[in-house]
Amino acid sequence: MAAGRGEFLLSFLEGLRRNRNPDLGLSAPATRQPKAGGNVRRPETTVKKYEADSPQMETSQSEENIIENLPSEVLLKVLLYLDVSSLSCISHVSRTFQQLAAADVLWRKMYVSDFGSRTWRPKSEAALQVEQEEKQEKQEQKEEQKEEGRAGYWRKMYFRTLAGQDVKNWMRERRDVSPYTGLPQRTSWALRKLSVSWELTLSGEPGQNLTLQPCRADFFQSSAVVLFSGARFPRFHRIRTIALHGVRKEAPRSPRAGRPGWRSLVLQLEVKSRPSWFFGKDDLVRLRHFQPGVTVGTWRCEDTVVFIVVTLHFHRLVERSLLGSPVCQYFEPAELPPLDQSDPQFGLHGYSLNLVLHDNNNKILTGTFSHLRCHHVPVQGGVVELRVINRNNVSQHRSLSGAIKLPWSGGAQEGSVKNCCVLTLTLLDDFQKPFWVVSSAVYVVAAVRPLSTDYGGDHFLLHFQDAEGQLRMELVQLTEQRQFMVIGLVVTLPILKVNRRFGTAY
């Protein structure tokens, strides 16, 4: 659709130079003499069709810049012949064209031309009943009517609809849910099929931004590990904000190739105000962790960043990478289970846990545990405790298939940090819906005292905690085999989270 647009503009410019129209104030440069102490007065020309939607522009009075001397209404009519790719290119020419290229009248015409009507709107997967869909649709229409008068509305709608053209297709492909994780089985396939990638933006002083492309992305059973390295990173103390955006890139031979991709904000960290901690180091680097799932590696002798690793859980990852906006994250709709007044322990039983310990390349531990319940009724201490592996039950103990380590790569340098790995956790409720999901780097520390007398060796603890819950894993490293054994695992949930989810009052 972009073919011939450049030739059209060149011929349009050549025609203006050869046959200058005095009504547009474009007299020949040799005979045009501006009056002293004032500007050349230009007759007002308007196009009534676009007058209401046209931004008021102050065009340059340069004699050489002939096109920008035209009234904004005429320029808008010319820009209506361009497609999205050409419009994006021309917005970088000058401030005048940048403002004109963002006009709602242009984007509304492109929206109607490319999509006709609003044939797609992101909806909740839980809205399966017709009545709920109708209520949601009416509410969205009311919100759209309120936003339609705002500047930039049609541009936002164009890119949201462009990103959602294939939503129905990949949602249909992802209907099959894994009985172990409770997540769609083909999430990694959908990410590759839609050419979804991620971009990391580091913001320092005003106007100093660094955007990075991932060096590699590794997919596991229910998570993705994205590595950013090889760039000339700034010093850590100069970084103020770390932002990760999901970007859909079209194939080179696609009809949409060359169009600007929609950027969806996945996470954003304010480095100065977000707490972080060091959790591992080797001879070259030390690791600093931010929640949720951001690990920054710096040189040990200085605070220069070497690499950044982001761990992403598969829960709603496709939606978060496509359906957000450049400045706002995608928020999943609330999916509350039906109330059960007949069960006095509703919300305290029927949990299932899928747990994976892995590094950037290999799995260290994989386990699925079902029929978990809280054995303390009434609930005490304001928490629900789910004992997954009992220290006193040897039959439940599990061995790790490899060493606990976290490999890293920073350009020409490589290494591995011991006693660190990635934890991916998916806790399902009684209705097999995700209740607590985690994908984060964790570390193992030596226990203060022996945890069990059944094994001879060194004892360790792995602990993770966020606002949604906490996990405590007890390990022992066998003396002869030098292999880790998991001898205890407890998951603890705040009772407020349970009451909010199930409508109870424990």
pLDDT in tens, 104-115: 888 888 788 777
Task: Give the Cβ contact number of residue 195 at 10 Å.
Answer: 13
pLDDT at 258: 54
Same domain, 283 and 384: no
pLDDT at 251: 59
Residues ≥6 apart with Cβ < 8 Å to 217: 197, 198, 224, 225, 226, 227
Q: How far apart, in whole angstroms, are the C-alpha atoms of residue 394 and residue 487?
A: 8
Answer for the pair 417, 283: CB distance below 8 angstroms, yes or no: no
Domain limits for position 254: 187-322
- pLDDT score of 225 more than 80: yes
Phi, psi dihedrals of residue 157, rounded to the nearest 5°: -65, -35
pLDDT band at 38 (very low <50, low <70, confident <90, very high): very low
Q: How far apart, in whole angstroms, are the C-alpha atoms of residue 106 and residue 54?
A: 10
Same domain, 192 and 97: no
16-30, 263-277, 342-356: which has the minimum mean pLDDT? Answer: 16-30
pLDDT at 255: 52
Residue 453 falls within a domain, yes or no? Answer: yes
Q: How far apart, in whole angstroms, are the C-alpha atoms of residue 429 and residue 245?
A: 30
pLDDT band at 319 (very low <50, low <70, confident <90, very high): confident
Same domain, 359 and 257: no
Does residue 493 sit in helix, strand or coil? Answer: strand
Q: How far apart, in whole angstroms, are the C-alpha atoms of residue 477 and residue 447?
A: 11
pLDDT at 385: 92
pTM for the predicted model, two decimal places: 0.67
Same domain, 295 and 191: yes
Max alpha carbon distance in the chain (Å)? Answer: 101
Answer for the pair 422, 441: CB distance below 8 angstroms, yes or no: yes
Residue 216 falls within a domain, yes or no? Answer: yes
Same domain, 14 and 68: yes
Six-digit token string for 3: 């073919």
Same domain, 382 and 427: yes
Query: Nearest to residue 171, comparing CAs of 114, 123, 222, 132?
Result: 123
Same domain, 313 and 407: no
Answer for the pair 227, 409: CB distance below 8 angstroms, yes or no: yes
CB contact burial 322-337 (16+ within 10 A = b; e otherwise): bbbeeeeebeeeeeee
Residues ≥6 apart with Cβ < 8 Å to 493: 383, 384, 386, 427, 435, 436, 468, 469
- According to DSSP, the residues that pair with 137 across neighbouring strands are none
- pLDDT score of 228 more than 90: yes
Number of structural domains the chain divides into: 3
Same domain, 356 and 494: yes
Residue 151 falls within a domain, yes or no? Answer: no
